[in-house]
Amino acid sequence: SSELTQDPAVSVALGQTVRMTCQGDSLRSSYATWYQQKPGQAPILVIYGKNNRPSGIPDRFSGSSSGNTASLTISGAQAEDEADYYCDSRDSSGNLLFGTGTKVTVL
């Protein structure tokens, strides 16, 4: 399959932990990358590689993977974490594939 499937929406209470998933065959051979996008803004990179955060990304963001499923966890969610989150991976041809996106609501 050449798709990356994400949960459409998740919610989390302020300060609690939320985990969102990304499923697809390409994840068996490559790590997922994760992006955050707030309304009206460009996406920003939050996790790349096995579990790497670019400078400026809080350590409450972490990534993991198992088989064909990658996960992004926000530990101690803050109000500013409310956003859409997208995963991506690269296939064997070098093409990039984005997931369907997850809308995170912080209650």
Partner 1 sequence: QVQLVESGGGVVQPGRSLRLSCAASGFTFSIYGMHWVRQAPGKGLEWVAFISYDEKKKYYADSAKGRFTISRDNSKNTLYLQMNSLRAEDTAVFYCARDYLPFDSNGVGPWGQGTLVTVSS
Q: Which residues bind partner 1 (CB under 8 A)?
A: 31, 33, 35, 37, 42-45, 48-49, 52, 54, 84, 86, 88, 90, 93-101
Closest distance to partner 1 from the beta carbon of 18 (Å)? 19
Angstrom CA distances, 59 to 7, 38, 75, 77, stand at 23, 19, 9, 11
Q: Which CB sits closer to partner 1, 43 or 76?
A: 43
64 burial (CB, 10 Å; 0-12 / 13-18 / 19+) is middle
Closest distance to partner 1 from the beta carbon of 52 (Å)? 8
Q: Which CB sits closer to partner 1, 57 or 60?
A: 57
DSSP 33-78: EEEEE-TTS--EEEEBTTTB--TTS-TTEEEEEETTEEEEEESS--
Q: Which CB sits closer to partner 1, 37 or 76?
A: 37
Closest distance to partner 1 from the beta carbon of 83 (Å)? 13
